[in-house]
Amino acid sequence: MVWVAVLTVSLFCVPVQADDAMYQDIRYTLDDNHLTAEVASNPRAAGELYLPEQITVGQNTYTVTAISDKAFKGCKNLTTVVLPKSLERVYRSAFDGTGIMQNKENWSEGCLWIDSVLIATDKSIKPRFIVPEGTRLIAAGAFQGNKTIVRVELPTCISRIDHETFRDCKNLQKIVIPKNIISIGEDVFTGSGIYQNEKKWKKGALIIDDCLVATNNDLPAKYIFKNKIPIRVIAERAFAGRKQLRTVVIPATVTAIPTAVFYQCENLTDVTIPTTVRSVGNFAFYGCGLLKSAKLPEGLEHIGMGAFYGCANLREQMLGKKIEVLEQGTFYMCRHLKQLPLPEGLRRIDNGVFAGCAELEDIKLPESLEYIGEMAFAGCIVLRTISLPSRINSVPKQMCQGCTRLYRVNLPEGLYAVGDEAFDGCLALEKVYLPKSTFRIGVRAFRSCQQLSSIALMPDIHVVEQGAFQECKMLEEVELPEQLKRLGAQAFAQCISLRSVKLNKGLQEIGNSAFRECRSLREIILNDSLQVIGEEAFAQCKNLRKVSFPVTLKKIEAGAFQDCESLRQPLFPAEIEIGKNAFKGTRQ
């Protein structure tokens, strides 16, 4: 189906709930889920720059936690930058080619420091280097490619080793990782002397100071951590792509399953997750198509975007009471997932969380829910009912698109809008009761709801968009709301059972193909406010016999009544503009 391809693109080619914003002449990327901000690309930055700990955009306050990988790259006139204390991640490449990096006075003993952050190193560094206490952060890639370094001792004041920090340090033979390190990025040691030393590897795993930092193809199909010193940290993507891996038992000393750790482990079937785990990172089990068992502990506090993306054989899962947000695509295309009770206290279900869960039978949304993202349940083809909690004020775009067995929807009072394609292709949907507060019916919102026999359009509806009820083949009667001035193109096209249409007095324009192929329509009364009848608006309404044209009418566009075989062509005053073939195929 088309929606699957669209969903894949929207979820993972562009950020969702992330927008760029300017604040004091600096561009940031905002994350509305976590209320954090990342310094984005600022190619014209110059002089002295101050980065605040927090920024306020609109009604939200965001904490500045990161600087993107090319944020200031090539800014030759950037001489000084003050980094916020809230900073959690920065890339060496963020300052490549800047005046800061080119100024030798900013370097000390082979290191570039900015506000106690180690940004970069060069060949003048000491071969045996102790990162000083007081260092609050080491930039991703800070030592990358440094051939001088042989031994590094990390301080107890940092908690993270970021991506590619020691990548391609070919002479690096020893590193001391302190106990306070709780997170290790991907490819931290790839291509380094440590990585290339075969003696460092045991049963396909590279373990340094009770941290598993990488695996290779020697990894056994069943991996159980049996080190004398228990593993406490697993690096991001540590097992990614290991097709031989089938079973993993994670030790109780681990508290976090990191980002993409089992990414595309295509034959992985079982993972034992200890009760100590508090977070599951983004894309942790992405593409593990054979995964059947990976029970999440009750104490889990966070589960990242796309965590179980494409885990087609996952049938059951539990979410602890502490989970407040399901990020985008968490269970996307988990085709055999049948049940997933949602915890009270859940506030957000982001884009595509359950999209493509073809066997999801039932979903009870808790009253605590404040937000539902686009395509949240798209393609849940056996889902039969859904009730939106009272805090939801709009049905998001494509929320239930392609839910072919959905027959009942309960919408809350206070609902403002039904989003584009929200129920598109819900073939079994029989009745929908729109609250009085409804203002807008989106593009193709109920298209192809073939069992929809009645719909009450509330008086305050101002907008009925293109194709809103197109191909609703069982729909028999429609009364347009009083506030509607323009009826969208194809709004009721191919509604083959539609026999009665009551147009409101304020309607000024009927859009293109609005009632095209409504073959049961016999009579239409156009009220005195109407000015324009769009192209093919009533084309192929073969049983339309009588139309009352108002004196206010100014324009009948091309093919408006084309092939209305039962309609006798009327005579109009010369001032009315009549388009080509407007009455072609009607009775003379």
Q: Does any domain span residue 337?
A: no
pLDDT at 15: 36
Q: Which residues make beta-bridge pairs with 441?
A: 418, 464
Q: What is the pLDDT of residue 13?
A: 36
pLDDT tens string 314-354:
999 999 999 999 999 999 999 999 989 999 999 999 999 99
Q: Report pLDDT for 34.
A: 87
- On whether residue 325 sits in a domain, the answer given is no
Q: Provide long-range contacts, Cβ within 8 A and 24+ apart, for 554-560.
A: 555/531, 555/579, 556/582, 557/512, 557/532, 557/533, 557/582, 558/582, 559/535, 559/584, 560/533, 560/534, 560/535, 560/536
Q: Does residue 282 sit within a domain?
A: no
> Is residue 287 one of the residues assigned to a domain?
no
Q: Could you give the CA distance from residue 62 to residue 55 in angstroms, rounded to a whole number?
A: 5
For range 232-240, the mean pLDDT: 97
For the whole model, what pTM was predicted? Answer: 0.91
pLDDT tens-digit series, residues 126-154: 999 999 999 999 999 999 999 999 999 99
Residue 111 lies in a domain: yes
465 pLDDT above the threshold of 70: yes
Average pLDDT over residues 200-226: 94
Q: What is the pLDDT of residue 428?
A: 97
Instruction: For 368-416, write each residue's pLDDT tens digit.
Output: 999 999 999 999 999 999 999 999 999 999 999 999 999 999 999 999 9
21 located within any domain = yes
- Mean of the pLDDT values across residues 348-364? 95
Q: What is the DSSP letter of 140?
A: B
Q: Going by C-beta distance under 8 Å and a sequence separation of 6 or more, which residues neighbour residue 91?
A: 67, 68, 69, 70, 71, 139, 140, 141, 162
Query: What mean pLDDT do residues 67-85 have?
Result: 95
DSSP state of 194: H
pLDDT confidence bin for 226, thresholds 50/70/90: confident
Burial of 276 (0-12, 13-18, 19+ CB in 10 A): middle
Query: For a pLDDT cut of 70, what percent of the chain falls above it?
Result: 97
Mean pLDDT of 527-538: 96
Give the chain's domain count: 1
Measured CA to CA, the distance from residue 165 to residue 186 in angstroms comes to: 9
Q: What is the pLDDT of residue 343?
A: 96
Q: Are 198 and 207 in contact (CB under 8 A)?
A: no
Residue 516 lies in a domain: no
Note whether 525 and 504 are within 8 A (CB): no
Nearest-angstrom CA–CA distance, 310 and 12 = 13
Residue range of the domain that includes 91 = 2-169
Query: Over 70: is that where the pLDDT of 8 sits?
Result: no
- Quote the mean pLDDT of the chain: 94
Residue 524's DSSP bridge partners are 547
Q: What is the pLDDT of residue 33?
A: 80
- Output the pLDDT for position 573: 84
End-to-end CA separation in angstroms for the chain = 45
Q: How confident is the model at residue 220 (pLDDT cuts 50, 70, 90)?
A: very high
Total residue length of the chain? 588
In a domain, 513, yes or no: no
pLDDT at 75: 96
Helical residues (DSSP H) of 330-444, grouped into ranges: none
Q: What's the gap between Cα 205 and its chain centre?
A: 34
Q: How confident is the model at residue 18 (pLDDT cuts 50, 70, 90)?
A: low
**Per the structure block, which two tokens stand in for 464?**
């009925």
Beta strands at 211-215 and 205-208: parallel, antiparallel or unpaired: antiparallel
Instruction: Give me the pLDDT at residue 233, please.
Output: 97
pLDDT range class, residue 4, cuts 50, 70, 90:
very low
On the question of pLDDT at 2 being above 90, the answer is no
Four-residue CA torsion sign, 552, 556, 557, 563: positive
Instruction: Indicate which CATH number applies to the domain containing 119.
Output: 3.80.10
**Residue among 211, 250, 255 nearest 229 (CA):** 211
